[in-house]
Amino acid sequence: MRFRRLARSLALAATLIAAATAGTIYRAKARDARALHDHPPEGQFVQVGRQRVHVVVAGQGPDLVLLHGASGSSRDFSFDLIDRLSPHYRVLAMDRPGLGHSDPLPDGEASLVAQVAVLKAAADQLGATKPILVGQSFGGTVAMSWALDHPAAALVTIASPSLPWPGTLDPWYRLNEQPAARAVLTSLAAAFVPKAYVNAALAAVFAPQPVPDGYLDHLGTDLTLRQSALAANVAQINTLRPQVVAMEPRLSGLTLPIEMVHGDADTIVPLSIHSGPLAARLPNAHLTVLPGVGHMPHHSHPDTVLAAIDRAATRAGLR
């Protein structure tokens, strides 16, 4: 009898686990489908080998590549910045691999070099072989990696990680270090994390400035909560610091015009750890510090960011 009761208990547990797993998968896939329906691609797809890269192309003038930050997409730029830039530049706003509508890199690859290889190949196909590189937050680090290994006219970083930082990542990222744990946790997050949580996290990213009206609806929080996007994002962030450590000795080789924009109230990527000391090392770098400004100056102070981009283009002989 004991064995029969044990068998029934095990069978019930297995049934409950299977039902919970099926429910999680269903909810995650439903959110994924809703995200793609509500926020379809705004641009075109460029095929690079087996990878599709989503690129929004607008305007005429010198080629300018926009690279978004962690958990983002080109929609961060299409909210406002692309319209400001397109009268003066041919803008290529690119979804980084695994985010937005771009395919993830194969085999869980997340390195800066691998991201750049795909993005540059897409830019080359579109005729932007030596663009101005503009990156916000994580995108600025990708832009630096691009400029270290490939021709670029100028480099503009906006609140970007650029030097090794102390401490450890948030528990969410540490829990997702192992691929097996990442598969489970990102699936659960994709299924059950409410939009309210994401909205609160985004408010913290913008702080002390408010999130612009209409931004959340335009960005599409469901796009960031897709399981594939969550997995790509945590893999990229978990591997970033050692790559920045390896990149640091090479940064003196960046001899192109560099403009940096950084708020001194940025708690996500502190000015005193990143752009401040790097600008002091590089004689060709010009740093604009925004007092009281947080991590998203391209939204809170777009004119300052546009002025930095224009200076970079002028210094590169493109304006």
The yes-or-no verdict on residue 130 having pLDDT over 70 is yes
Q: Which two tokens mark 310?
A: 């224009």
Which pLDDT score, from 0 to 100, does residue 240 have? 97
CA distance 22 to 25: 5
The yes-or-no verdict on residue 9 having pLDDT over 80 is no
Q: Is residue 169 part of a domain?
A: no
φ, ψ (nearest 5 deg) of residue 169: -75, 165
Which pLDDT score, from 0 to 100, does residue 6 have? 43
Which pLDDT score, from 0 to 100, does residue 23 have? 56
Q: Which two tokens mark 183?
A: 């598969």
The yes-or-no verdict on residue 177 having pLDDT over 90 is no
54 CA to centre of own chain: 14
Contacts of 82 (CB under 8 A, 6+ apart): 56, 58, 59, 66, 91, 93
For residue 159, give the amino acid letter. Answer: A
Q: Is residue 188 part of a domain?
A: no
Q: What is the CATH number of the domain that holds 142?
A: 3.40.50.1820
- Structure confidence by residue, pLDDT tens digits, 243-300: 999 999 999 999 999 999 999 999 999 999 999 999 999 999 999 999 999 999 999 9
Which pLDDT score, from 0 to 100, does residue 20 have? 45
Q: CA angle, corner 180, sides to 176 and 186, nearest 5?
A: 50
Q: Is residue 178 part of a domain?
A: no
Q: Is residue 112 part of a domain?
A: yes
Is 315:158 a contact under the CB 8 Å cutoff? no
- Structure confidence by residue, pLDDT tens digits, 22-81: 556 656 577 777 777 788 999 999 999 999 999 999 999 999 999 999 999 999 999 999
The yes-or-no verdict on residue 144 having pLDDT over 70 is yes
Is 214:76 a contact under the CB 8 Å cutoff? no
Which pLDDT score, from 0 to 100, does residue 191 have? 82
Instruction: For the chain, give the number of residues.
Output: 319
Which pLDDT score, from 0 to 100, does residue 186 have? 86
Q: Is residue 175 part of a domain?
A: no
Which pLDDT score, from 0 to 100, does residue 22 have? 52
Which pLDDT score, from 0 to 100, does residue 105 have? 96
Q: Is residue 176 part of a domain?
A: no
Q: What is the mean pLDDT of the chain?
A: 90
**CA torsion through residues 225, 226, 229, 235, sign:** positive
The yes-or-no verdict on residue 5 having pLDDT over 60 is no
Percent of the chain whose pLDDT exceeds 90: 74
Which pLDDT score, from 0 to 100, does residue 60 have? 97
Interval 203-230 mean pLDDT: 93
Using pLDDT thresholds of 50, 70 and 90, give the confidence band for residue 21: low
Range of the domain at 118: 44-164+239-315
Q: Is residue 129 part of a domain?
A: yes
Counting the structural domains of the chain, the total is 1
Model pTM? 0.90
Q: Is residue 260 part of a domain?
A: yes
Q: Supply the DSSP string of the chain, one letter for each residue.
A: -HHHHHHHHHHHHHHHHHHHHHHHHHHHHHHHHHHHHHS--SSEEEEETTEEEEEEEE-SSSEEEEE--TT--THHHHTTHHHHHTTTSEEEEEPPTTSTTSPPPGGG---HHHHHHHHHHHHHHTT-SSPEEEEETHHHHHHHHHHHHS--SEEEEES---S--SS---HHHHHTSSHHHHHHHHHHHHHH--HHHHHHHHHHHHTTSPPPTTHHHHH-HHHHTSHHHHHHHHHHHHTHHHHHHHHGGGGGG--S-EEEEEETT-SSS-TTTTHHHHHHH-TTEEEEEETT--S-HHHHSHHHHHHHHHHHHHHTT--
For the sheet with 90-94, list strands across it: 44-48, 51-58, 90-94, 63-67, 132-136, 154-158, 258-263, 285-290
- Structure confidence by residue, pLDDT tens digits, 90-128: 999 999 999 999 999 998 899 999 999 999 999 999 999
